[in-house]
Structure formats: C-alpha cells, structure tokens
C-alpha cells in the first residue's frame, strides 16, 4: 500500500507557481532532523474558481521535486472531492480527500442502522484508553444515534473509495475521509463509531479530518477554548489508536487537521500531544501561499506594490461575491476594512504589515487578510498580468513563501 509518512503538510498553491519555495520549507525541516512530507492540495472548488485543472498541480509538484532533487515521498491531493467531482482528479492525484460532510445527517436505511448497531454491540461500555484521564464511554443509544447520523456518510465514502480504487488500483493511493465542513464537531465516541462504520465499508483510510471544536477561519488564528481543544484532540488520538487495533484499519491512520492555515495558538497544544503519544499528523493548510505572493509583490514596491493595491481595491468591490463560497470559514468585520483610497496611499511597509500574519504587530489587520485570502479570484481574472508580476518578483515572493511555512508552521509544530 502507498503509505503516508508520519508527518505531512498539505500546502495549497492557488496559482501553482510556489511549489519549489514550499518544498524548500520541507527541506529545512529535513535539515533540522524531521521528515515532513509535502502534499500539494487544491480542492475542486479552488480549481473551479480559478479555472485550472488538477493536472497543473501535478505538473508543478513534479517539476519542483525534479529541480530541487527531493528524494523523499510527496503527494498530490484531490482535496474535498465527491462522487460527482472526482473524475478529473483520478489521473493526476495519488491522495484523495473524500468529503462526506454533505451526507452527514442524511437518513440511513433503518435496517442498515440496526445491522451496524448489532455488529458493533461489543463496543458498548467504558473504554479506558492510554493517556486519557477519563474513559470514553459508548452506549447502545450512541450506536443507534451515530448509525442514523453517519451511516449514509460512511457508505458514501465507501462508494467514492471504490470508484477511485477501480480506476487506479487499490493500494496505489492514500485515502483521507473529511467531515470538517459540517455544522457540529464530532465527539470522540462518535469518531470511534464513524471509524467502525468506515472499516465496515472497507475504506483503508490513512487520515481522517473531523470537525474540531472552535472556529477555523481562513488564514487567521484559532478562535475557541484551547483547553477543550486539547482534551478533545487527545481523546481523538486515543480513539484512533483503539480503532486501528480493533477494526484493522491502516496502522498509520492519523488525524488530518484542516486548519485553514495559521492556527498558531494550537501548534504548541498539538505538538505536546504528538510528543506524548508518538502519534503522526497531517496538517492541511489553506491557500495562504497566495497571500505570500501578494506580500512579496507589496514588499517589492513599484509595480508590485501597485498591483497589490489594485488587487485589494478590486477585492473590496467584489467582497460579497468573493466571500460567499467561504461564508462558514471567514469572519470579516466590514467596518475594519480600510478603504481602497486609504490603501492606495500606503507604503510597502504599511501594506505588508497589515497583511502579514504577525499577531503581535498592532498594524496587522485580520479582516483585510481574510478578504485578500478569498480574493484570489481577482488575481486569476488578471491572467498573465498577475502571473508575470509574480515571476518578475520571484525572489522576494519565494523568501516569503518559504519563511512563512517554515518559521510559522513547520518549526513550531514539528521542530520546536
Ligand atoms: Zn477541509
């Protein structure tokens, strides 16, 4: 089986120009003694908004690996695909994030729910799990409730998995199951039973992305109760270890945190939990590499800064449209957005400090950052004008892309 390494990072790259600079961050981790495998993820939604094909993500990844001589594994992730959107990803991808969020809560066949509850009746009771102060308790009601709420989603995952396996061959790709884009976080007992249902469906998942407690807005820090997150995260790790032994799921099954990027306050919490348990992790970041492109343009001054200002002005004008597909994962206060006029008078330093995610900097503006984050459609509309500016200022941009991934993500999470 194609096996995902213990530590991996999902790097989004909206325009497919920064794969080398992203890979450089993984090289820095390797030089520091930690293997973190890069996974280039780009969802169907982002391909559709930009008008690109998954083959371009594969080409960019392969080219970067070739140029930099990266000898460790790497993957290309069909991020958040479903039965009706997976087709164009089948060729170029070797990692599939099977998104079943829409099927959660869809009514499952009562007879199938009863069979599920019968088959897993042995799980009812208190599970004392290593590293947890309290046992995880499963009741007969939990079995029926989880069956009713999640069985349809598990069956969906099975159907999508079998379609991919039929096209590519079982064992030739990594399977992730994602449930993060839904309303309510899954509790640890739910996670255990969901894994039971996925095992029943024969899905050899290596990563699972639950919805965690708290807000995971795009490109900005976590909003929520850190102690509750830590408690649930550790329970999830223990539940996964139990599920691997009990259901015969792949031994390297690990959590995938769809972070939306930049959950800086969670990194020490996650790092401690990984250290204490020896668990692996897949950290999926959003397309904040695109923000480093804008930061690099602004930092370059002259025509670069002018283009960065133009992008902001256009994003402000189209705010409602740009925000709509991301409504559940952004919190922008319009009153905190500077006017286009004001930004047009900014220096390079003012623009960079407003956009760059340095939480301690009083000039940092998370509202502007989230708007620019969803504003990549504006740059896509500029076509070659945007891409040639990115090329012209490649050195400045690459420094920002690598520095961001390494200093603000890989180092605090995996290296310390
Ligand atoms: Zn996600």
What's the gap in Å between 81 CA and the centre of ligand 1?
Answer: 10
What's the gap in Å between 43 CA and the centre of ligand 1?
Answer: 9
Which residue intervals of the chain bear CATH 3.20.20? Answer: 7-286
Distance between CA 344 and CA 187 in Å, rounded? Answer: 47
What's the gap in Å between 209 CA and the centre of ligand 1?
Answer: 7
Q: For residue 31, name the pLDDT band (cuts at 50, 70, 90).
A: very high
What pLDDT, on the 0 to 100 scale, is given for residue 328?
85
What's the gap in Å between 178 CA and the centre of ligand 1?
Answer: 7
Token code pair at residue 16: 């497919």
What pLDDT, on the 0 to 100 scale, is given for residue 287?
82
| Average confidence score pLDDT of the chain | 96
What's the gap in Å between 213 CA and the centre of ligand 1?
Answer: 14
| Model pLDDT for residues 123-180, shown as the tens digit of each residue | 999 999 998 999 999 999 999 999 999 999 999 999 999 999 999 999 999 999 999 9
| Model pLDDT for residues 283-300, shown as the tens digit of each residue | 999 889 999 999 999 999
What pLDDT, on the 0 to 100 scale, is given for residue 286?
83
What's the gap in Å between 375 CA and the centre of ligand 1?
Answer: 19
CA-nearest of 39, 38, 42, 64 to 53 is: 42
Task: Give the residue-averaged pLDDT of 338-353.
Answer: 98
Give the largest CA-CA distance in the chain.
68
Task: Give the residue-averaged pLDDT of 368-392.
Answer: 97
DSSP state string for 44-72 = HHHHHHHT--HHHHHHHHHHHHHHHT--S
**pTM for this predicted structure:** 0.96
Q: For residue 41, name the pLDDT band (cuts at 50, 70, 90).
A: very high
What's the gap in Å between 107 CA and the centre of ligand 1?
Answer: 23
What's the gap in Å between 45 CA and the centre of ligand 1?
Answer: 11
* CATH assignment of 7-286, among 3.30.310, 3.40.630, 3.30.160, 3.20.20: 3.20.20
Whether pLDDT at 416 is above 80: no
What pLDDT, on the 0 to 100 scale, is given for residue 54?
97
């Amino acid at each position: 089986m194609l096996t995902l390494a213990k530590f991996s990072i999902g790097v989004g790259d909206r325009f497919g120009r920064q794969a080398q600079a992203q890979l450089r961050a993984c090289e820095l981790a390797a030089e520091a003694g930690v293997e973190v495998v890069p996974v280039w993820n780009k969802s169907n939604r982002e391909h559709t908004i930009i008008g690109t094909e998954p083959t371009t993500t594969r080409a960019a990844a392969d080219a970067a690996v070739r140029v930099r001589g990266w000898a460790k594994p790497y993957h290309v992730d069909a991020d958040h695909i479903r039965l009706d959107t997976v087709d164009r990803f089948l060729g170029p991808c070797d990692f599939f994030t099977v998104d079943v969020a829409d099927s959660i809560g869809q009514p499952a066949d009562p007879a199938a729910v009863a069979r599920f509850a019968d088959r897993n009746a042995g799980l009812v009771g208190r599970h004392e799990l290593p590293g947890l102060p309290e046992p995880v308790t499963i009741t007969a009601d939990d079995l029926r409730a989880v069956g009713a709420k999640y069985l349809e989603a598990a069956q969906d995952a099975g159907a999508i998995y079998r379609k991919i396996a039929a096209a590519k061959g079982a064992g030739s790709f990594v399977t992730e199951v994602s449930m993060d884009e839904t309303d309510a976080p899954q509790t640890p007992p739910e996670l255990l039973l969901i894994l039971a249902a996925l095992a029943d469906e024969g899905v050899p998942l290596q990563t699972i992305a639950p919805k965690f407690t708290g807000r995971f807005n795009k490109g900005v820090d976590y909003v929520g109760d850190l102690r509750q997150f830590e408690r649930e995260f550790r329970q999830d790790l223990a539940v996964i270890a139990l599920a691997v032994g009990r259901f015969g799921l792949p031994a390297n099954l690990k959590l995938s945190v769809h972070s939306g990027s930049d959950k800086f306050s969670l990194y020490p919490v996650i790092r401690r939990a990984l250290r204490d348990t020896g668990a692996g992790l897949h950290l999926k970041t959003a397309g904040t590499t695109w923000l480093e492109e804008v930061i690099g343009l602004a930092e370059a001054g002259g025509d670069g800064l002018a283009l960065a200002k133009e992008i902001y002005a256009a994003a402000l004008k189209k705010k409602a449209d740009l925000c709509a597909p991301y409504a559940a994962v952004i919190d922008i206060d319009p009153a905190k957005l500077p006017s286009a006029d004001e930004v047009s008078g900014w220096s390079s330093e003012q623009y960079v400090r407003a956009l760059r995610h340095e939480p301690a900097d009083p000039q940092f503006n998370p509202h502007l950052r989230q708007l620019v984050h969803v504003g990549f459609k504006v740059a896509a509309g500029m076509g070659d004008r945007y891409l040639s500016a990115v090329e012209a200022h490649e050195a400045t941009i690459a420094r920002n892309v690598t520095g961001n991934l390494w200093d603000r993500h890989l180092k605090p999470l995996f290296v310390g």
